[in-house]
Amino acid sequence: MAVTIVIGGFFGDEGKGKIVSHLVREDSPSIVARGGVGPNAGHTVKVDGEEFGTRLTPSGFFDEECRLLVGAGTLIDPEVMNQEIEKLDIEDRIGIDKRCGIIEQKHINRDKKDSRLSDEIETTGTGCGPANEDRVARKLKQAKDIPKLKKYLTDVPKEINNAIKNNKDILVEGAQGFGLSLIYGTYPYVTSKDTGASQAACDVGIGPTKIDEVLIVFKAYPTRVGAGPFPTEMTEEEAQEHGVEEYGTVTGRPRRVGKWMKDWAEYAVMVNGATQAAITCIDKYDQRCRGITDYQELTEKAKKFIEKKEREMGVPVTLISTGPRNDETIDLRKEKL
């Protein structure tokens, strides 16, 4: 049994929702817990041909036996949370830590009215930054202060650590990407807290000695929404030639597209102590790979790309996404771990 943390290695939008949903289908963990900043990051999951974009709910929502938890380090927008609970019909399976910070309308207003945040940094406008400011200033409401969240409240660290004692599988889902970390990312073009594996563990209340695997997710072609450095960025024409025109899950804004960032990928693996990596969108690197589920059937071009990244990063690539559907995945964990 294992405790696994899944985080993004570039600037978000790496396909973490797809990877987490695959792990849930294959491993049936007892708990999927969400860390991260808050509703400023969307995870996309395809279930039976239907696409869901969630902003706070863990990506294991489709497994009816799975307990879904939102860690204390995560900010909650009660309106967004309640909409997702109703839409996904997870009222009996969701637990929200009583210490989650609460985003209020005033935080959203400040986020949108601050010209530096909205125009220069190009934040999502979801109120996360101003809410975290109030959290640091010790004047932020918590989930326990919101009556309509009362029935979902729990102590997430207690639940998770009790499950660990009972040898249950736990999956911790981070959000954003390591390039957006407040501490290690492309400051000041970052989010309002750290986005690494250590922070994800802290968000849900798991000590470092209890983590078994850190799975870092990279995209064959990194993308970025909003302003900030992107040294390998392609022109719009180049991106279209590679078939990688994309839009953000939360903002709907076009994603900037670039080529693989070798030095950054190696650095992200090092700082996060990654034990394995996933590479998504290999079908956009080579369209002939679309839908393949057997590694040996990948093109030589794709195999050379993946094997080179393994050598550079020093960790095995255990999961390869060959398309948006959950079954369009190559899982090499049994062979490589």
State the catalytic residues. Answer: 13, 43
Q: Locate tokens 């990279």: which residue?
A: 218
CA distance 238 to 312: 25
CA distance 77 to 39: 7
CA distance 46 to 327: 10
CA distance 113 to 116: 9
Please tell me whether the peptide bond between 188 and the residue prior to it is cis, using omega within 30 degrees of 0: yes
Q: Locate tokens 């064959």: which residue?
A: 220
Copy the structure tokens of residue 5.
């943390």
Copy the structure tokens of residue 146.
């919101």
- How many C-beta neighbours within 10 Å does residue 294 have? 8
Exposure b/e, 245-265, CB count within 10 A at least 16 = b: ebebbbbeeebbbbebbeebb
CA distance 337 to 330: 14
DSSP 62-80: T-TT-EEEE-TTS-B-HHH
148, with CB counted inside 10 A (0-12, 13-18, 19+), is: exposed
Q: Please answer whether residues 272 and 196 qualify as being in contact, where contact means their C-beta atoms are separated by less than 8 angstroms.
A: yes
Cα separations (Å) of 125 from 30, 109, 114, 251, 272? Answer: 34, 8, 10, 9, 28
Q: Locate tokens 């999502």: which residue?
A: 124
Q: What letter would DSSP give residue 226?
A: S
- How many C-beta neighbours within 10 Å does residue 25 have? 15
